[in-house]
Amino acid sequence: MRLKVLLPTEVLVEEEVVKVTAEAENGSFCLLPRHIDFVAALVPGLLSFVKAGDGLEEFLAVDEGILVKCGPEVLVSTRQAVRGPELGTLKATVEKTFKVLTSQEKRARSALANLEANFIRRFLKLEEYV
């Protein structure tokens, strides 16, 4: 199978693999080369794959995303992902990277909620004049 992990700014992984394991809302799953075509919404978690050439297993920490298996291709699209050869190093990197992004997202969502509330208030005021 050909695994391709796509981020908004780059292609993080493009490898021949024999196995892909990922996590969806209803649990983790495994894809092998003869698996039926498949689509899943990924939850934040680990995605692992076994390379075809050397049989080594590699790990990615992925944010929410979509996985599509169509024929021999497995495409994963996600906003954020971190690649790491071992779980210990990957866990530390994920905690450091994703926690910073989480606090930034909270501030951005708060600002957006304020904008929406102001818009609704002004819209209601406008209705009073009509």
- The whole-number pLDDT of residue 127 equals 74
Please check the confidence at residue 47 and state whether its pLDDT lies above 70.
yes
Rg (CA), the chain: 20
Instruction: Kindly indicate the confidence band of residue 33, based on its pLDDT and cuts at 50, 70 and 90.
Output: very high
Please check the confidence at residue 114 and state whether its pLDDT lies above 80.
yes
Strand partners, 39: 68
Rounded-to-integer distance, Cα 35 and Cα 43, Å: 21
**Between 123 and 60, where is the model more confident?**
60
pLDDT tens column, 51-107: 998 988 999 988 889 999 999 999 999 988 888 767 777 777 766 766 666 667 777
Rounded-to-integer distance, Cα 48 and Cα 66, Å: 15
pLDDT tens column, 12-29: 999 999 999 999 989 999
| Secondary structure (3-state) at 37 | coil
Sign of CA dihedral 69, 24, 8, 51: negative
Which CATH architecture is the domain 2-129 placed in?
A: Sandwich (2.60)
Tokens of 43: 């939850």
